[in-house]
Structure 1
């Protein structure tokens, strides 16, 4: 049985955190995010798909063909790839999950390609069928539809988990997490306005971009004027996927998150020139060692013309030159 009762933020945070705790002893805490976030996202889009399907049925007097039309859904979920399809499995659950993830990504190439990351779902020494079944059962009873959990509530709970995992692991947490007090300070100083283009060249899990949206909202502006104008780049696959999930779960309809090394291969440009933005904000990885010193000496974008080439073992000035 599933529950359609709306969840408060604290209830949802507790519910998600207990699910993460089920991984203890099987997965390193630093890797919790690579498993829990894709699973959360999968549950959310499955429940929203069924919610949309039910609404389309009501609208069409029970026409199932109509309810299946892609126009009635934010994302396409192929047959056999919903949450309940995986819940029915008792063997090779990890393989079933991985297959569902890849099929969903292929069905939504412009929005979800690569979003589920590359966690080792099929490694039974790490995640046995019994462990995965327990994890799926934990998340199954509560419906995570939009009616039960509004996008801002789900997004805030997602941010809570990002911080929780960073606090617990302390292992390379700085690679993807910036304390929200620091993020808030940076955004308030820059004071981005509605309709502006925003760029974070070291976006991590997307916290800066989320804070910009909240800032515009608090200033009385419309966050929707930022749709299609939010840009971020992150070189770690799992972290860039989390950033995309973060924005989607906050209800952001259109954004650009590129998975690539910003210093070596900047993703946003026009012709022979790097793209320019109204607002650039970032907390880049300071004192980065192997950052591409050799490439920078002959940087095709000309970023080394201002101030020369930074030291081999410190990329700090390179980040400033890029921005």
Structure 2
């Protein structure tokens, strides 16, 4: 007889699988082996649960196996129990079962198990896989034992634990959940709306919108969730994550959002969305700038970003992805996007577009495993009349808590920021409203100390990120060198004349 699984038991059970793998494979690779096994175990146990419920009604095994009684099809020989019975070439059999399940569920599960190297016995010998399978077989993951919310929470716990274990690379697939919750509350997603994350990682931002509606007692199942993720294994985890949270209308695409955006309208234009939440990769250098310069989707309306920093390419992609009436976005960026000289022309065009609603400066440590201070920029396609031609700046650098080497936002921090955001008014030493003309007078810089009294440069993060500071210095030095060269060339020309 199976029993209800507590959250603590679930966390111990999930992390126990990582202990089996420790020392055998790199910590950064845990996720591409453990998550698929959890998912296979879950859908197998739920299939059995559905079968038992149907059998109680029909009293016939054949009828109980009909597809309409099951959320997912599991072909013969591909159930967890079938895999558990295998003793040789376990990885090969696992891979066969996963691919067969994907093929049997073409509308929902293609590619969901990722691309782990299951057949590599040097990496995963039969003994290790047998230990993993036996470990996961110790609990029954039915919905009765483990409702979707609770399994989803356990999944998020495991994502964070893997992030902790794998170090700085974690930023690509994990964003501080208290910050995600704040960004979600700022945008106030509503039932039936479309939500998009162009760099979705494991899908946490998308899931947060459903969780927020659920928390408010509103209908959440009719949210339409869309995400794209460059890393194939991470995109597979995102799809599993949505399923395990009970979200069926989720669309996760694999690929490069800048060079090959996945969501297009019937006319071949970018699809537009009501809500966009994003934590784009920070200042990537390896991107196709030449293609973006002649972008077929018209995303380069503000200009073409420098090769060394793709931030404004993502910025423009998000702006272009907003529904022209309802569209609103919250984007997590490093502070440099507010003031870097090499992006001055792009920033001037951004300001003139009157899309920026709020620039929110946050405390240190909310970027995963980084001391750098973060900034959230919100965009709104159609501002209220009283907000048009204005931008709200909030200095929340002190609204952060730190415990056990982790930074996070308490409920009180979130509420203070939300009140200021919704109030859209000056608050001494905390918030200020500036007109577009006032911003233009400051060279279109969006650096928070220029607008909020009592904020110094270190609060704005300029001195926290050494790479930013060096890049700005090099940019300025390069500009000076170019200007001196121009003057010398002019002098030489006059002398020879």
The interval holding the TM-score normalised by the smaller chain is over 0.9
**Contact 1:233–1:257 (Cα < 8 Å) also in 2:** yes
> In structure 1, the residue corresponding to 2:222 is in which secondary structure?
helix
After TM superposition, the runs of 4+ consecutive aligned structure 1 residues lying more than 2 A away are: none
Partner of 1:152: 149
Pairwise CA RMSD: 0.9
Partner of 2:85: 88
Partner of 1:278: 274
Partner of 2:261: 266
CA distance in 1 between counterparts of 2:116 and 2:52 reads: 32
Partner of 2:31: 33
TM-score, normalized by length of structure 2? Answer: 0.63
Task: List per-residue Cα deviations over 1:240-285 (Å, max 9, x = no partner).
Answer: 0010000000011211111111000111111132111111110010
**Contact 2:202–2:241 (Cα < 8 Å) also in 1:** yes
Task: List per-residue Cα deviations over 1:10-67 (Å, max 9, x = no partner).
Answer: 1101111111210011110000000000000000000001111111111112x11101
CA distance in 2 between counterparts of 1:268 and 1:279 reads: 14
Task: List per-residue Cα deviations over 1:164-205 (Å, max 9, x = no partner).
Answer: 000110141111111112211211111211221111111110
**Contact 1:30–1:171 (Cα < 8 Å) also in 2:** no
More strand by share: 2
**Contact 1:303–1:321 (Cα < 8 Å) also in 2:** yes
Partner of 2:5: 7
Aligned counterpart for 2:43 among listed residues 42, 45, 52: 45
1:17 lines up with 2:12 in the alignment: no
**Contact 1:48–1:144 (Cα < 8 Å) also in 2:** yes
1:249 lines up with 2:249 in the alignment: no
CA distance in 2 between counterparts of 1:59 and 1:171 reads: 52
Structure 2: unaligned runs, 5 residues or longer: 319-497
CA distance in 2 between counterparts of 1:253 and 1:303 reads: 30
Partner of 2:200: 203
CA distance in 2 between counterparts of 1:165 and 1:311 reads: 33
Aligned counterpart for 2:124 among listed residues 117, 123, 127: 127
Partner of 2:424: none
Structure 1: unaligned runs, 5 residues or longer: none
Number of residue pairs aligned between Structure 1 and Structure 2: 317
Relative CO higher for 1 or 2, CA cutoff 8 Å, sep ≥ 6? Answer: 1
1:301 lines up with 2:297 in the alignment: yes
Partner of 1:109: 106
1:174-193 aligned within 5 A? 174-193=171-190
Q: CA deviation at 1:141?
A: 2.1
Partner of 2:492: none
Structure with bigger gyration radius: 2
Q: CA deviation at 1:220?
A: 2.8
Aligned counterpart for 1:231 among listed residues 226, 231, 238: 226
**Contact 1:187–1:211 (Cα < 8 Å) also in 2:** yes
Partner of 2:438: none
CA distance in 1 between counterparts of 2:78 and 2:212 reads: 37
